[in-house]
Amino acid sequence: MPTLHGIIFELTAIIVGAAVLGTLFLYARQPIIIAYIAIGFAIGPNGFALLRRTDQIEQISHLGVILLLFLVGLNLQPTKLARLFRKTSLLTFTTSMLFGCVSLAFALLLGFDIYSSLLFGAAMMFSSTVVGLKLISTSTLQHKRTGEIMTSVLLLQDVLAILVILFITVEKSDHVLVTFAMLAGKFVLVCLLSFVGVRYTVMPLLRKFDMVQEYSLVVTLGWCLLWAEVSHILGLSYEMGAFIAGLSIASCRVALAIAEHLKPLREFFLILFFFAVGAKLDLRLDLRLLVSAVIFGALLVPLKAFVFRLAFQKSGESPELSRELAVRLAQSSEFSLLVVFAALSVGLLSAEGAMVIQITTMVTFIVSTYWVVLRYPTPIYRPAKAGL
């Protein structure tokens, strides 16, 4: 049972380490996200082991992802999102399948069995919601087509990833389609109840007490966590529930003000998230597998960028926008780590296979983040020259 002193020591080590290393990275004009991952590896159980167990930090850090998806929902109008989904659904599905097939072939070449190879392919299919949205400015996310299209692709990928994880963890039966149908029904139910609740409960309360800023903040934050928990109980995900909650409040006039007030809280938990990602890295792996994972991760990023660029241009986007979207979506997803956890929990993946997936994912995070930061505007700094 962790003590108060233990928790405070862990947080102190993480935040002070992130501040020191983050300062050095910013002086060197390097992405600060990489500093958070690096400090996780350095002081985590596979580095200097200053923190020997990070399970609790990892669980707490998940709040950052929940808040990120809630803020994304707050910045979108439901009608606009529906139009974007119609435009990007085919593109998202076909590119995901292509990336999955390429990754499957790579895993088979490494000598993995068919089940491990399928899991590797599934883990590499998607792009990172956290990295993608963390490296885009709030104004771009709210008002520009770049942010709108990125959000729609990432959210559709998140839905596909949730289905993959459900397929992995669901008990073997002849009723998989029935299970998926029930999942879709639960999603619709959460959407309906959330929107009705905002109209008849949240909005009247916010209008009545709109002079009390703290009240607006606590009500909307409570709304986010309520639907995140409800979605989890129903077999969806915390992130999906948080996004639905944010989307249901997006039409309120206080939505953007609430989003601004929640950003510092989101940033704190995302520091913990990236620390936990780094702490999971374990380089004590067969040298052939380690080198192969690093090489494949480094090659997967430009491959994804090339495919996305062609796909966006085919869908009618301009060459400039297609290039930027392609680079920003070129990494693997944090859902890769969730796929690993789900597969390990049911005995479908070896510890060695899990580490290959995690290392490949981390490499794509690092390569993609450098590419974005050095070429396109981010909250870190604006490069002198943008392009591919």
Non-local (6+) Cβ contacts of 4 within 8 A are: none
Q: Would you place residue 175 in the very low, low, confident or very high pLDDT band (cuts 50, 70, 90)?
A: low
Overall average pLDDT of the 78-87 stretch: 76
* pLDDT at res. 388: 43
- Higher-confidence residue: 260 or 120? 120
CA quadruple 54, 55, 59, 62: dihedral sign: positive
Instruction: Return the top range by mean pLDDT from 41-45, 277-281, 294-298.
Output: 294-298
Q: Three-class SS string for 133-155?
A: HHCCCHHHHHHCHHHHHHHHHHH
* pLDDT at res. 312: 94
Q: Would you place residue 93 in the very low, low, confident or very high pLDDT band (cuts 50, 70, 90)?
A: very high
* pLDDT at res. 380: 56
* pLDDT at res. 306: 96
pLDDT of 169 > 80? The answer is no
Residue of 78, 44, 82, 80 lying closest to 61 (CA atoms)? 44
- Higher-confidence residue: 362 or 386? 362
pLDDT above 70 covers what percent of the chain?
91
Q: What is the separation of C-alpha 4 from the centre of its chain, rounded to a whole number of angstroms?
A: 30
Overall average pLDDT of the 267-271 stretch: 84
Non-local (6+) Cβ contacts of 244 within 8 A are: 73, 190, 191, 194, 227, 231
Overall average pLDDT of the 269-276 stretch: 84
pLDDT of 229 > 80? The answer is yes
Residue of 385, 386, 384, 379 lying closest to 31 (CA atoms)? 379
Q: Would you place residue 87 in the very low, low, confident or very high pLDDT band (cuts 50, 70, 90)?
A: confident
pLDDT of 251 > 80? The answer is no
Largest CA distance in the chain: 64
Overall average pLDDT of the 287-310 stretch: 94
Instruction: Name the region of 316 (left: φ>0; alpha: ψ -120 to 50; beta: rest).
Output: left
**Domain annotation for the chain: domains and CATH numbers:** 4-375 (1.20.1530.20)
pLDDT of 143 > 70? The answer is no
* pLDDT at res. 386: 43
d(CA 189, CA 157): 21
pLDDT of 381 > 90? The answer is no
77-81, 302-306, 347-351, range with the lowest pLDDT? 77-81
Q: Would you place residue 161 in the very low, low, confident or very high pLDDT band (cuts 50, 70, 90)?
A: confident
* pLDDT at res. 170: 58
DSSP state, residue 199: I
Q: What is the mean pLDDT of the chain?
A: 83
- Higher-confidence residue: 340 or 304? 304
* pLDDT at res. 1: 52
pLDDT above 90 covers what percent of the chain?
26
